[in-house]
Amino acid sequence: MDAEHARCVDYSFLCLDCGHSWDGTYNIDITVDEHGHIAPVYYLDGRQSPRCPACENHEVRAIRRGRVPPARPHAR
């Protein structure tokens, strides 16, 4: 993780698979790619994250802390 891009941030997360939501403090490395797209990468304890603690899915949405209401899992 490039130190000039890194910062420590509190986020709420919502799993796009099971609907679980949680809060966490992560190190985030925000860069802009060659096409001008923002590319955030989250780290927790030196490992790339986040991963849903309920189902281990990597498809999660990061939202400003306190903005994620508890969600019900969707029907499959």
Say which DSSP state 74 is in: P
**Residue carrying structure tokens 């790339």:** 48
Res. 74: pLDDT tops 70: no
Q: Which residue has the higher pLDDT, 58 or 7?
A: 58
pLDDT tens-digit series, residues 24-63: 888 888 888 889 888 888 787 777 877 888 998 988 888 8
Q: Report the C-alpha gap between 64 and 9 in whole angstroms.
A: 9
Please give the pLDDT value at position 48: 80
Please give the pLDDT value at position 55: 93
- The pTM (predicted TM-score) of the whole model is 0.59
**Residue carrying structure tokens 């000039």:** 4
